[in-house]
Amino acid sequence: MHSLFCAAALFVSVLTLSGCAADRAVVHHPRALDDTRVGLGFFSHAAAGARRDYFHADNFTLDAPARLTALEWAGLVDGPAGAGLENVSGFVVRFIPFPENEPGEPVAERRFALGETHPSPTGRLGSGANEASAAREFTHRVALEPAVELVAGDYLLVVAAELIDPSAANWQWQDGETSDGFSASWSYARERWEGVQDTDSAFTLIGTSTPLDD
């Protein structure tokens, strides 16, 4: 059973964490702060067959080895107005090595039922971009159990929704506030990476990192 990584931790609207003793935000891509950007994001699904037949990945870099204990992210579906997560049953999270901009094989994968992600509505609605018109934005948080141990290097993070009905509302990972990295979507139909963009997705990796000079 996945549980909160620290009973005292507080998850707040900007995807930050007050944290427990040694844990902190190792990588932080805050969600878009401008309400008009809610609904800008990339569709991401754990299996082929959805109308938006992709899973999405965002890159991050670790300057030192890290032990990741929790993950937070934000997203919403593509309508109709007021839609929540009725068509989402859970999420899959993957960590993929990304040396020299070449995706490798996943080194860790975790699956979570929807309730285990502690979905929390932000009160914001999609602006209509990518058809997410007036759907409700949610933040999610999970404990990574066991912790994900990664060496220093470049990685891709995948957050993908498991859908109840692939022909109904699709889920998209909300864009982050910044655009300082690399992201791409894997096409199930064409079996290749597509849509390379200099766009961050909204997520925070929490854990501990060992400084290089330790």
Helix (H) / strand (E) element for 141: namely: strand 133-150
62-102: pLDDT as tens digits = 999 999 999 999 999 987 788 899 999 999 999 999 998 88
> Span 173-201, mean pLDDT?
84
At residue 214, the pLDDT reads: 45
45-67 confidence digits (pLDDT tens) = 999 987 889 999 999 999 999 99
Using pLDDT thresholds of 50, 70 and 90, give the confidence band for residue 173. very high
In the prediction, which pLDDT does 181 show? 67
